Amino acid sequence: MKRPAPISLSPLLALALLATGLPAPAQDLSRASPVTSSVLTASVVSLAVITAPVWLSAVGVSELHDASMPHNRAARAAKKHKAGPLPPLTVERVAQQPDGAYRVDLKNPQAPDQPAVVEWPARADNPAAGVNVGDVLEFTPTPAGAGWMVANADGAALAFLPTDGAAATSMSERW
Specify the pLDDT at position 172. Answer: 47
What does the alpha-carbon distance between residue 75 and residue 72 come to, in Å, rounded to a whole number? 5
* CATH number corresponding to 84-172: 2.40.50
Residues 143-152: tens digit of each pLDDT: 888 888 888 8
Per-residue pLDDT of 77-115, as tens digits, reads: 555 668 888 888 899 998 888 888 888 899 988 888 888
The Cα 138–Cα 156 span in angstroms is: 10
Below-50 pLDDT ranges, the chain: 1, 172-173, 175
- pLDDT for 126 equals 80
Per-residue pLDDT, 175: 45
Composition of the chain by helix, strand, coil, percent to 5: 45, 25, 30
Please name the amino acid found at residue 48: A
Domain boundaries, the chain: 6-68, 84-172
C-beta atoms surrounding 69 within 10 Å: 10
Q: What is the pLDDT of residue 92?
A: 92
pLDDT number for residue 2: 55
Q: List phi, psi (to 5°) of 138.
A: -100, 135
